[in-house]
Amino acid sequence: MTPTPDWHLVVPVKGGASAKSRLHPPTGVGREALALALATDCLTACCAGMPPARVLVVTSDERVAQMARGLDARVVADPGAGLNAAVRAGRDAALADGPSLPVAALLGDLPALRAEDLTAALGAAAAYPLAVVPDAAGEGTVLLTALTGAELVPSFGAGSAARHEAAGHQRLELELPRLRTDVDDDADLQDVLALGVGAATRRALEQSATTLPPMQGSVHSFDETTGAGSALLDDGREVTFTREVFAASALRHLRVGQRLSLDLTGEREVSKLWIVGIGDDQRIG
């Protein structure tokens, strides 16, 4: 069965520095860049599988928005109140085209997705007023559909497939691993790599061979509570480091002005920091 011709597809994409915080990319690959690549491959497949004007990308990140516009998709502002609020915002924008249009919501982190996978899933969903396609584990939701878009009420999050089913969505256990494998952590990334990912994700991962040489700088700011901070490089640039990077440094604290050595990725993100003379297994008080 082919999908009805007027599906509108809502794809929420977080983007930015906080995206995919559970991912630990290879050295030289920025997490933010990888997250953008995952979304790019997913949206490229979506826009190949249906008219791009009916793909609504909900985001607050300008890089994601620019990428989506480059694919001729529509961009909807993310209200910033979580995934379900983002889906509702996209749904409402879609319904502005017609109150009874069919609307689907798809996760934006499906880098192995192909256009034919989306076509097959929407075709199957078109047989039911409400439908849900669970993720590969059978617990989360990758695709949620409603033939009457106003009836699309998202409840994404842990265990969402069961919640959506309880709310009346027909559960569709489709043999579409490329559509059902989303990326939240390192194990998921390995799973989609085995399936085969799109060009953007492949290019992003190839950056692992392009780590920049160590840089020198000084602590510019440091939050004792979160462990995150920033450094001012000797060339005048300010770069930030996450609490995960600080935790991996084996340092207990930092003070403003303290000299540091830093490894940067190709995206100018700090991947490692240390003080000369303090090794990986040493600590300072």
Letter string b/e over residues 137-167, b meaning 16 or more CB atoms within 10 A of that residue's CB: eeebbbbbbbbebebbbbbbeeebbbbbbee
Q: Known binder of ligand: residue 157?
A: yes
Give SS3 for 115.
helix
Give the span between the Cα atoms of 204 and 35, in whole angstroms.
9
Whole-number Cα distances in Å, 178 to 20, 37, 112, 121, 207: 19, 16, 5, 11, 24
Burial (CB < 10 A; 0-12, 13-18, 19+), residue 135, is buried
The token pair at 64 is: 């994601």
Amino acid at 101: L
Annotated binding-site residue numbers: 141, 157, 160
Annotated binding-site residue numbers for phosphoenolpyruvate: 141, 157, 160
